[in-house]
Amino acid sequence: MTRTLNKPSVIMMFILPAFITFTLIVIVSIIWVFCVSFLNWNGMTDGSFAGLENYRQLFFEDSNYWEIVGNTFLYTVYELIWQVLGGLLVAIFLTRIRRGRAILQTLYYIPVVISTVAICQIFTKFFSVTPPGMINSLLGLINEDWYYLEWLSNPNMSLEVAAFAEGYKYFGLYMVIFYAALISIPQELEEAARIDGASVLTQILRIKLPYIKPVIISNLIIVLNGSMRSFDVSYLLTKGGPANTSQLLTPYMYKQAFNSLRYGYGSAVAITIVILCVLLGVVLQKIVIRDDKED
């Protein structure tokens, strides 16, 4: 059986369908969008070749673009904190308790299986102003002026609320991944550390986290790329407002292409998203490789 599975023909039989599917859905789509980004096209009539005009307008004339890039990077930082760090801390907490662990795991994971639309509706009601939602109602018990605090329409808070909503939805997924990695650590390592007098914090920092480092890096890359391409939560909650303060690159691409019927310009935005995701992935990989060499 092992000899059969090691044959190149058998290996290709398993790899080829996934490779063909990935090529048709991802690679071909990126190439097509790249070609469209050089056109002046509204999606209905024949497009005309515009050269680098879409990119020139995007980088040098679109005052909103760089603000939106900044929003997207800040949003990504928030998601790394909520999803990766939050999921890791909860996973560590779950490994330290004995009673009620299964119930807590289920409760933490429930938002993952709830639809994004439902999650956004819940958060819209929580942060409602008229009538006051649950958040404002609780805060109003402390100070009456807080009954009417703006959240989703506050330019200083809308991005953070959208990031929190997405982090709340997905952190349970990474909690499960981290928990599975933590319980796979050999018990001998922890027992040896306890015998040597290592504290719980020392065991976590010196043994557990280094042991699951590949899992941490994988989750960082997944969340990093997912946040750079985030669309649904921020769009459903805030529509990018007020005044683009919570606008992200992917919803901006959608609005340019489908709302404004500027498919060439929207495609140029899409290509910049691809480039940013690739660059961030490469940078993170370089950092990891350098750290491994130093270790």
pLDDT digit string, tens, across residues 16-36: 888 899 888 888 999 999 999
Q: For the residues 164-172, what does the mean pLDDT come to?
A: 92
191 vs 187: CA distance, rounded Å: 6
Judged against a pLDDT cut of 70, whether residue 292 lies above it is answered with no
Per-residue confidence (pLDDT) for residue 13, from 0 to 100? 81
Question: Is pLDDT of 1 > 60?
Answer: no
**pTM to 2 decimals?**
0.89
**Interval 184-201 mean pLDDT:** 82
Give the helix ranges, DSSP H, for the chain: 2-5, 8-22, 28-36, 53-56, 63-79, 86-96, 101-113, 116-126, 134-140, 158-183, 187-195, 200-203, 209-211, 213-228, 232-238, 249-254, 263-294
Per-residue tokens: 60 = 């040098």
Q: Which CATH class is domain 64-294?
A: mainly alpha
Looking at the chain, the whole-number percentage of residues with pLDDT higher than 90 is: 37
Q: What is the pLDDT of residues 87-111, one digit of tens each?
A: 999 999 998 888 888 888 888 899 9
The mean pLDDT of 56-80, rounded to a whole number, is 92
Residue type, 147: Y
pLDDT tens digits, residue range 213-245?
889 988 998 898 889 889 989 899 988 888 888
Looking at residue 293, what is its pLDDT?
Answer: 64
Residue 153 — pLDDT band, cuts 50, 70, 90?
confident
Report d(CA 158, CA 218) in Å as an integer. 29
Q: How far is residue 264's CA from residue 52's CA, in Å, rounded to a whole number?
A: 10
- Give the per-residue pLDDT at 134: 87
pLDDT of 165 above 60: yes
